[in-house]
Structure 1
Amino acid sequence: MPNVHKSIVAVSNAMPVGGGLDGIVPAIVYNSGEETAHRFVEYFIGQIRNPNTRQAYGHAVKLFLSWCEAKGAQRLEDITYIAVASYIEQHPGNPQTVNQHLTAIRRLFAWLVKQKLLAMNPAENIVGRKYRTKIGKTPELETVEMRQLVDSFDVSHIIGLRDRALICLMGFSFARIGAVLAMNVEDYFLKGASHWIRLHEKGGKYLELPLHHTANEYLHGYVETATSQEGITWGKGTPLFRSQQRGRVRKLSDRRLDRRDSWAMVKRRCKAAGINTDACNHTFRATGITNFLENGGALEIAQEIAAHADSRTTALYDRRREKVSLDEIERIRF
């Protein structure tokens, strides 16, 4: 079953890979019968289309089932409402993480009940942890820091050009790192007199946006240099942002840059520029939205550019309310 093996490996190495299903899925699942084991694999392969969700849910389920096995459960049928509630109660994560894990557990059991492999869903009526967020926690960069970062790139080589284009594309388009890394060369195109980008968003949707002239300048420079100096052939379906060749300094490979490498790049670049080392891939989404709003942009337009279904989500990235001037503080007089 090679395809099953590859698919499960993609679920964040959620399950150890062996010779048969008993080596792919956790023992607690396999002990419930081979049909249950098959449906378990089918759930991750066929029911979760987004690879990031698949990875997160696979990790959550792995942790939960390992905990159940450590508590003595031998089959899925041994997992009760009390077991799920106890697991959620002792979970050390923050409310968002705990609720995501609960959703992953609940959806898996709902799928197995639907397949008539289990009589009940022990997670169905478990209540998650309450929390309220008015301002997001993603670190943003001040305008001067963003400029400092952009100016710090050594663009005498292709890797510097790639990294500058990638970071600025996220900042100027509010794009998620997953959507940017998923771009192929045809997703950067000329429409009328302007260059546009096509971002593949969650749920199979895509968003087309005109490209800011600065981002276009940087992206065009990256693509042109890769073509003229690196000999890259930009055929349809080829990744726009490519990884560095292994063992080769400052050379691009044919492989797509992945999230972990882009995260490490952002950390490395910010440290070298002497700015906020807490920055991550998502930082440039928050930075772009806040800068847009500070310069008179409307929240509903920011929501549309960011492809948020709810304006409250966009508002989490608006950090203007966090910026209290010293003049305001000096109004306090004892």
Structure 2
Amino acid sequence: MSGTTALLPFRPMEMSPAQLAAVSYLARYSGHTHRLYAFQLRRWFNWCENNGLDPLQEIQRAHIELYIRHLGNSGLMDSSVVTMMHAVRGFFRFAHIDGLIASDPAVYARLPKVHRDESRTQGLDRLELIRFLQVAQTLTVHHGALAYLLGINALRASEAAAVRIEDYAETLRGHRVLHLVGKGNKPATMPITVPVLRVLEACRGQRTAGPLILRPVSGNPIDRRDAYRMVTRIAKVADVPRHISPHSLRHAAITNALDAGVPLRDAQILARHADPRTTEHYDRARGNLDRHAVHFLTAYVAGV
């Protein structure tokens, strides 16, 4: 069976150990992550097939590093090479855990060094975000709800598209809250502030259940692609002079929270980042010498 079909229909008796290990690994994921990792593993399987290698058995670190070099020579940026290796490294890690291979050949493979002082996403500053939210509400109530969920609650496009009316019906410790399932199937609960609730209720109308944000024309639930198109339309009407995506709104929520003085730990909770270093990439002012901790320490210790 060729690499291009290695991850297709689940027929265990017809699968090689490598194919079965790949299917087992991909079963941990769903949605966009599943599709992305399946694509990455297909590319690895194809490269192995072209070079006469089994994708799992007898793979050595040298093979992994040759594949990494191949990805770089194919024109991918260093950051894209690192991303393309996510599924390959996970595939070998779990194959080792499951006892399918004696050791993990990818664990010490050298990846390109990627230095990111800040997120490359083009976000919105405070005034641009305010205008974006205002314009969104003038289009339709659905555009308004989407903009507030992305730009205030920092939801991802797929998360905002999946919000149901029942998901924000509960009040917890005096706060109206939104329950959602985020990246990696991690559940999260976050408060809904009054301005956001007002927009969500306008979008809900007289409905009591079902998907919250609908396509303005057909009335069908939106998906990630619809969210992208809706954000693009809002940005055009708002005269934002650059490309804006749903992630730009999530980026704006996090960066503006940090600009407003929200502590890094609280901004991490808003973003639902597992690693605080990811949130740090959004801090536009961390290089500001006026905010350097040495000033506060000097005043505290030396009284100057």
Question: Fold match, TM over 0.5?
Answer: yes
Cα distance in structure 1, aligned partners of 2:279 and 2:8:
43
Cα distance in structure 2, aligned partners of 1:102 and 1:114:
18
Cα distance in structure 1, aligned partners of 2:105 and 2:134:
55
Cα distance in structure 1, aligned partners of 2:7 and 2:166:
43
The Cα of 1:166 is off from its aligned counterpart by: 0.9
Aligned residues: 282
The Cα of 1:223 is off from its aligned counterpart by: 0.5
Gaps of 5+ in 2: 290-304
From 194, 206, 210, the equivalent of 2:191 is: 210
For the residue of structure 2 that corresponds to 1:152, the secondary structure is helix
Tell me the equivalent position of 1:220. 201
The Cα of 1:282 is off from its aligned counterpart by: 1.4
Cα distance in structure 2, aligned partners of 1:22 and 1:150:
43
The Cα of 1:221 is off from its aligned counterpart by: 0.5
Tell me the equivalent position of 1:261. 226
The Cα of 1:30 is off from its aligned counterpart by: 10
Tell me the equivalent position of 1:318. 283
Q: Kindly provide the amino acid, as one letter, of the partner of residue 300 in structure 1.
A: R
Tell me the equivalent position of 1:132. 115
Identity %: 25
Tell me the equivalent position of 1:71. 51
Tell me the equivalent position of 1:6. none
Q: Kindly provide the amino acid, as one letter, of the partner of residue 189 in structure 2.
A: E
Aligned residues of 1:290 and 1:320 also touching (Cα < 8 A): no
CA RMSD after TM alignment? 3.4
Q: 1:122 to 1:30 in 2, by over 3 A?
A: farther
Tell me the equivalent position of 1:164. 144
Tell me the equivalent position of 1:187. 167
For the residue of structure 2 that corresponds to 1:173, the secondary structure is coil
Residues 179-209 of structure 1, C-alpha deviation per residue, up to 9 Å, x if partnerless?
Answer: 3233222211242765321232344433322
Q: 1:138 to 1:77 in 2, by over 3 A?
A: same
Tell me the equivalent position of 2:255. 290
Tell me the equivalent position of 2:24. 42
The Cα of 1:36 is off from its aligned counterpart by: 4.5
The Cα of 1:88 is off from its aligned counterpart by: 0.4
Residues 117-169 of structure 1, C-alpha deviation per residue, up to 9 Å, x if partnerless?
Answer: 5565443431212223221111111222223323334746xxx2112211112
Q: 1:117 to 1:200 in 2, by over 3 A?
A: closer
The Cα of 1:110 is off from its aligned counterpart by: 3.7
Cα distance in structure 1, aligned partners of 2:239 and 2:98:
55
The Cα of 1:266 is off from its aligned counterpart by: 1.7
TM-score by length of 2: 0.77
Aligned residues of 2:119 and 2:282 also touching (Cα < 8 A): yes
